[in-house]
Structure 1
Amino acid sequence: MYTPDLAPLADSLTLSSLVAILPLLTIFLTLGALRWKAHWAGLTALGVAILVAVLVYQMPVGLVGLSATQGFTFGLFPIMWIVLNAIWLYELTVRAGRFEDLRAVIDAISDDPRVQAIIIAFCFGGLLEALAGFGAPVAITGVMLMAIGFTAMRAATVVLIANTAPVAFGAIAIPIITAGNLTGIDYQHIGAIVGHQTPFLAALVPLFLIFLVDGRRGLRQLWPLALVVGVVFAVSQYVSSNFLSVELTDIVASLMGLAAAVLMLQVWKPVGGHDALENMTHEREREQAEDPDPSAAGGALATATRTQVQLTPGKVFMALFPYLLVILIFSASKLVPPLTAWLASTDVKIHWPGLDGNVTNAAGEVTSSTVYTFQWLSSPGTLLLLTGVIVAIVYRMKIADAVDVYVTNLVKMRWSILTVASVLALAYVMNQSGQTITIGTWIAGTGAAFAFLSPILGWLGTAVTGSDTSANALFATLQQTAAEEAGLDPALLVAANTSGGVVGKMISPQNLTIAATAVGLVGKESLIFRKVIWWSLGMLVALCLLVGLQSSVLSWMIPVQ
């Protein structure tokens, strides 16, 4: 039986934390400064985590190895299972010749790439996050932006930053429900508080996207649309989380944001779209000249060449069919209680051999994280596979073609699969050896000032695991305990953990790899990291300030339970 010591190094929480954070520093250093390929960065950080677990935390080598294998398996299934099938679904549309029809449909709404970034990455991506989560929105919207002519790097950065707004309420509010189950605080109350935090970021994200696509000129020309969509999304997120349904918050917000964009475009036409599109075309040509076949490195790429397509109602429906089917299948699986219950009943709980029952948390309680849930049917990846099979049948594709697309993608994604699996192995070793909780306990020891720092734990947990749900599983009870000891509102800090996670997702190696895979930049995750890290840190600082003020002078903002 292994029980982690919170301060294994000289009984000093500070020294122990400085050692425990070494695996994370390894990731950030190798990706951000040394620009290593993501799989080498992930494997190196995993090696550092193993050494710290064995030499400093005195965790038996066998348990360390078993923790790594459980995390590695979780990285393969469900995480990369989801990404593989999401990209396969998109590639089917390319192989079936529906690619140009989809681009024409998007152009019919607006041929301005700045508008398209808001509609696809922010609105549709938010809907996918609400229904699927776990990287599917980044993968699907990434290849869709590539489809309309975005360069690979611009598409990756746009979808990663767009994915911040809906994460807290993603996958039918699973992060918030998890926090409620662990702390005993009503998850509806936690969700209501989150609804007083994340909308402030959501309102600004479309403006950030416009700046990423077309700089200051884009902001001058398109700020009215970006602001309207952002504010409508934010207000809808607030209203739904506080007065309608925490679970449906992102669905309501995304659809309202999309409706606002479409309605506004009927009465207001942005200028400068042609110039932005021309600049993007030149940028794409330069990118292709430098790397004629980036798809060889992995990921689904669409040609930038535009052809004239005569749209008919039938072509419009067939172009949108895969995405309408995704919404239909995921909505049914999440929102129809009998179907949701039946899918959940097919999950297989696997008590990880040799590990389960032999690891406790710092309080001496046997941890439940050593139980692996095999969601062979309820996984979003399986639902995406089902969607792809139906799409292939409706598109009348040959079985050999559909299988060839799948196998080709699997081979191209081999390094991405290794990266994500190694990062999840790293997360499990850090979590089960006690490294993560040491860092969290150290940060939580700042007393009343902890209110300003509490989002950092959520940011940290999500950066490591790639999941806001996992960040809450790690730190929700710690936030609750620290709040009670410091005389702060426990629900506020548990909500802050969730909100902090939304700005950490864009820099998680898992999500960086998914984005790189989707757009064909495998091996260049470090470049994407350097593009998004400052956005992540900037939003984190703003969130820390907001939560700190909500614990004091802005306490009137927090709803009463």
Structure 2
Amino acid sequence: MSFTQNFTAVGDNLGLTALVALVPILYFFWALAIKRMKGYVAGLTTLLIALVLAVVAFKMPASMALMSATQGATYGILPIGWIIITSVFLYKLTVKTGQFDIIRNSVVSLTEDRRLQALLVAFSFGAFLEGAAGFGAPVAISAALLVGLGFNPLYAAGICLIANTAPVAFGAIGTPIIAVAGPTGIPAMEISKMVGRQLPFLSLFIPFYLVVIMAGFKKAMEIMPAILVTGVSFAVTQYLSSNFLGPELPDILSALVSLLALAIFLKFWKPKTIFRFSAEQEMAASVAANSPKNEQIKYTGGQILKAWSPFLVLTVFITIWGIPTFKLALTGHYEGTNVFLKAVNSLGHALTLLPEVPFLNNKVISSAGDPIPAIYKLEILGAAGTSVLLAAVVTKFIVKISWKEWVSTFGETMNELKFPIITIGSVVGYAYVTNASGMSTTLGMTLAKTDSLFAFFSPILGWLGVFITGSDTSSNLLFGNMQKVTATSIGMDPVLAVAANSSGGVTGKMISPQSIAVACAAVGLAGKEADLFRFTIKHSILLVVIVGIMTFLQSNVLSWMVP
């Protein structure tokens, strides 16, 4: 038995079918933004609604709908959930052994100002992690760091989600752009150039916008020199690397340049006033009055290096895991002659399981008449979370924690994250159901009917794709070719449309159910996903409108910007 996707399944009408496909999304918005349900409840009920609509409205066999949900849930656990578990575990090891106190002190010695700490950690360091690993690691790690520094957990999570906007399109060594080059037939370098002529404008804006959100316009103007150093250094490097090197390195290079530029700048420039959150100011005054001697703790360079070493080790591991050739070996696909990589390949092959999804594999027929393969992709060694776990193993010896306490801490982490993992599994399951049933494609085809306004709506299609799938890569694979075909039919440059899908998609990351669940899990706000969603939704809509206007102008007025 097979199932052919039908994009006019309701009343033989695309518009009506799109309205039905929109129901789970509207429900999820309502459940979090208005009803304020716990994340896992909103996720599970959204999945249930999607399953019912897939079967009743889109006529998908119930067995296929259920199995597509299991395929998504499996992907939600590995690799996404695995990254969160290991990232939070690594952070907890540094807290339990007292090393994070030294990390906090080292950042505070550079600047006590919360605005500048957000630029250093959320924007620059987060972008580096996005470039090296992606898949939730940047938000999980940088948000946990900010909480450790003393940030309010909700603010830490929200700020890191918004900061993560700038680097997402080039995340995980350029995966979103490299992936979309295949189905569209457009060279990755051309897409990289175009994205590199859109996102640098956001990269200039985001540092300023972050500080405005945190402290207001006047407080942002007080540190405008630091904001400009951060934004300009990142944006210029992002433009140059994306246009002359390719999609693999813009995030890593831009992040390192901006991080170093700001750190060096802060050696010579300080804000006139130190900004702290209002509750912190009262606490700081109380601490200063009662224990003034504890304020000026000095640590040696060796102590600071040791405290930061878990994250330095983490950086090394996730960078190695992102190297294309090594990644092939980790997943058992290396075909070269290097002896070491061949040994890794053997282990990677043994730890890579690709079983077919029962009742689903090659049973769903696309609009082009092609069967769609469906497998459970269990790349255990190749998963980014495994690289973080190995960093945690090395950290055990650096911080000198016993194996008993190491294992105990891992168990505590697993227990704390049980509900966030359910949330992630359910929302990724929902994404897979919408893709397999044809709901997401129906929504995309409806937006593609906007004709001359398509240049504005093109990024919104990418935004919608990332909201549904939680991934700029998945959104590009879902809508990339549709963007190209629609753009060609209306006289818009297809390179611009495909790039806009990726650039618009980055603004949807902060409201994706997966990202919300990851951020809440990292800062200990499990069950508070609705609060975080309400925090980010307005910023997401504003930013995607900005990208839409930018794309419209590049298509109609600033066409010289298209490579």
Q: With the length of structure 2 as denominator, give the TM-score of the two structures.
A: 0.93
SS in 1 for 2:10: coil
Other-structure match for 1:365: 370
Separation in 1, partners of 2:450, 2:246: 35
1:309 CA drift (Å): 3.2
Other-structure match for 1:17: 18
Separation in 2, partners of 1:330, 1:30: 35
Separation in 2, partners of 1:452, 1:327: 38
Native 8 Å contact 2:133 2:319 kept in 1 = no
Deviation per residue, 1:199-225 (Å, 9 max, x gap) = 111111111121222223321211221
1:348 CA drift (Å): 3.4
Native 8 Å contact 1:204 1:227 kept in 2 = no
Matches within 5 A, 1:481-496: 481-496=485-500
Query: Quick one: structure 1 residues 280 and 182, their matched pair in 2 at CA, closer, same or farther if it must change by over 3 Å?
Result: farther
Other-structure match for 2:547: 543
Runs of 4+ deviating beyond 4 Å: 282-285
Other-structure match for 1:99: 100
Give the % identical residues: 41
Other-structure match for 1:204: 205
Query: Are 1:350 and 2:355 counterparts?
Result: yes
Other-structure match for 2:248: 247
Query: Quick one: structure 1 residues 8 and 411, their matched pair in 2 at CA, closer, same or farther if it must change by over 3 Å?
Result: same
1:371 CA drift (Å): 2.4
- 1:365 maps to amino acid: D
Separation in 2, partners of 1:468, 1:38: 22
Other-structure match for 2:158: 157
Other-structure match for 2:257: 256
Separation in 2, partners of 1:148, 1:123: 16
Deviation per residue, 1:336-394 (Å, 9 max, x gap) = x54233113234333222211111212221124x1232111111101001110110122
Separation in 1, partners of 2:215, 2:355: 49
1:445 CA drift (Å): 1.3
- 1:237 maps to amino acid: Q
- Pick aligned residue for 1:527 from 525, 531, 549: 531
Other-structure match for 2:288: none
Other-structure match for 1:297: none
Matches within 5 A, 1:275-354: 276-277=275-276, 279-282=278-281, 308-335=296-323, 338-345=325-332, 346=348, 347-354=352-359
Matches within 5 A, 1:127-276: 127-273=128-274, 276=275
- Pick aligned residue for 1:459 from 453, 456, 463: 463
1:70 CA drift (Å): 0.6
Native 8 Å contact 1:150 1:280 kept in 2 = no
Query: Quick one: structure 1 residues 278 and 54, their matched pair in 2 at CA, closer, same or farther if it must change by over 3 Å?
Result: closer
1:326 CA drift (Å): 1.4
1:283 CA drift (Å): 7.8
SS in 2 for 1:527: helix
Native 8 Å contact 1:550 1:557 kept in 2 = yes
Deviation per residue, 1:260-298 (Å, 9 max, x gap) = 21222122211211xx2262515889xxxxxxxxxxxxx
Separation in 1, partners of 2:210, 2:253: 21
Native 8 Å contact 2:83 2:137 kept in 1 = yes
Query: Quick one: structure 1 residues 543 and 338, their matched pair in 2 at CA, closer, same or farther if it must change by over 3 Å?
Result: closer
User: How many pairs align?
Assistant: 536
Native 8 Å contact 2:462 2:505 kept in 1 = yes
Other-structure match for 2:438: 434
Q: Quick check: 343-352 or 91-100, which moved more? A: 343-352
Native 8 Å contact 2:192 2:246 kept in 1 = no
Native 8 Å contact 2:321 2:384 kept in 1 = no
Separation in 2, partners of 1:283, 1:36: 33
Other-structure match for 1:52: 53
Separation in 1, partners of 2:376, 2:19: 30
Native 8 Å contact 2:110 2:267 kept in 1 = no
Deviation per residue, 1:403-424 (Å, 9 max, x gap) = 1111111111111011110001
Separation in 2, partners of 1:19, 1:227: 46
Separation in 2, partners of 1:497, 1:123: 24
Separation in 2, partners of 1:35, 1:341: 42
Native 8 Å contact 1:151 1:283 kept in 2 = no
Native 8 Å contact 1:151 1:280 kept in 2 = no
Separation in 2, partners of 1:68, 1:219: 45
Separation in 1, partners of 2:455, 2:281: 47
- 1:340 maps to amino acid: K
Separation in 1, partners of 2:109, 2:178: 39
Q: Quick check: 469-478 or 338-347, which moved more? A: 338-347
For structure 1, the 5+ residue unaligned runs are 286-305
Native 8 Å contact 1:46 1:425 kept in 2 = yes
SS in 1 for 2:371: coil
- 2:256 maps to amino acid: L
Other-structure match for 1:292: none
- 1:321 maps to amino acid: S
1:549 CA drift (Å): 1.1
Query: Quick one: structure 1 residues 131 and 525, their matched pair in 2 at CA, closer, same or farther if it must change by over 3 Å?
Result: same
SS in 2 for 1:446: helix
Query: Quick one: structure 1 residues 4 and 161, their matched pair in 2 at CA, closer, same or farther if it must change by over 3 Å?
Result: same
Native 8 Å contact 1:207 1:226 kept in 2 = yes
- 1:151 maps to amino acid: N
Native 8 Å contact 1:191 1:241 kept in 2 = yes
Native 8 Å contact 1:175 1:468 kept in 2 = yes
Query: Quick one: structure 1 residues 496 and 219, their matched pair in 2 at CA, closer, same or farther if it must change by over 3 Å?
Result: same
Native 8 Å contact 2:230 2:261 kept in 1 = yes
SS in 2 for 1:354: coil
Separation in 2, partners of 1:522, 1:59: 33
Separation in 2, partners of 1:277, 1:30: 33
Native 8 Å contact 1:233 1:257 kept in 2 = yes
Other-structure match for 2:342: none
